[in-house]
Structure 1
Amino acid sequence: MSIHLHFRAVVESEIEDDHTWLAAYMSEAWDRHAEEYAAGVTDSIAKSWSFVNDLYAAADVAGTGGEGPWTLPIYGGRPVAHTPGADLTDPPMMYMDPPEVSQAAEFLAGVSFDELWNAVGKRLGGGGPDDALLRQEHLEHHESLRGFYGRAALSGHAVIKAVWA
């Protein structure tokens, strides 16, 4: 089974704060994923997004585990509640407003991947024979998210996140 966390930058004034509407919008965006990825308005992570979040948690040097900028790239934003009477099989979704997107972009631009990896890479499964491949996979996710959030913040966009299974 394939499962993805899908990120889509959006002009805030062009969307409706309604789960059913957003599910249809994100479904159409998912159908155009390759085209939208090439345009720089979408990103996605297959299966391992919680490990990317764990990588970013290493930036929580105070050890609070609370809401800090490191929480924004993967799980940041507010859940979008299902519309009453909606199809409950629609994907879970989150909405990040433009200031949160800017905070996520600033975090990703300022954090050192190498320092994060050195802090938690072994805990994420690194240190074994596939260490170089795992590190490269996380680096690619980090660079892709940094570019995506940077472009979205520069454009003043919000970000919608959906989980597709």
Structure 2
Amino acid sequence: MSIYLHFRAVAESEIRDDHTWLAAFMSEAWENDDAEYTAGIAHSINKGWDAVNDLYAAADALYTDADEPWNLPIYGGRPVPHSADADPSDPPLMLLEPSGVSQAARFLTTVSFDELWNVVDARFSALGRTKQEHLEHHRNLQEFYGQAASAGHAVVKAVWA
């Protein structure tokens, strides 16, 4: 079974702060994922997003005086609560506003992947997680958040099973 964390950049003015509407928006985006990936407005991580978050959590050990929150790229944003009439099968959703997207982009471009990996290497290697896999996730997230921040976009996140 595959479970994905799906990211979609979108102009904040185009978003309705309504779970039912956002779930439909994200569903349509998921169905158009090839075109949206090519356009740089969508990204997803299959199953391993929690490990990517754990990688970024290593920033706490490296940058004790940093004011950039490391949790923004994966779990950042506020939950969008289900409305009373929402379909219970709709995915959990989070909304990261443009200021948070900019902070995430800054974090991803300033953090040293190699330094993060040095903190988690032994633990991750024991779990069978590879440096190359995480480097690819990191580079893809750098590109995605960089483009979203440059455009002044928000990022909507959905979990698809």
Pick the TM interval, shorter chain: over 0.9
String of CA shifts for 1:88-108, please: whole Å, max 9, x gaps: 110000000000000000000
> What percentage of residue pairs aligned between the two structures are identical?
64
Partner of 1:56: 56
Alignment match, 1:107: 107
| CA–CA distance in structure 2, aligned partners of residues 150 and 121 of structure 1 | 26
Q: Distance in 2 between matches of 1:61 and 1:127?
A: 20
Q: How far has the Cα of 1:52 moved from its partner?
A: 0.2
Q: C-alpha distance in 1, partners of 2:149/2:26?
A: 19
Q: Could you state the TM-score of these two structures normalised by the residue count of structure 1?
A: 0.91
Corresponding position of 1:40:
40
Q: Is the 8 A contact 1:55 1:121 kept in 2?
A: no
Could you tell me which runs of 5 or more consecutive residues in structure 1 were left unpaired when the two chains were aligned: none
Q: Which ranges of 4 or more aligned residues in structure 1 deviate by more than 3 Å?
A: none
Q: Distance in 1 between matches of 2:76 and 2:114?
A: 23
1:164 is matched with which residue? Answer: 160
Equivalent in 146, 149, 156 of residue 150 of structure 1: 146
Q: How many corresponding residue pairs?
A: 159
2:8 alignment partner AA: R
User: Aligned-residue CA RMSD in angstroms?
Assistant: 1.8
Report what 1:94 is aligned to. 94
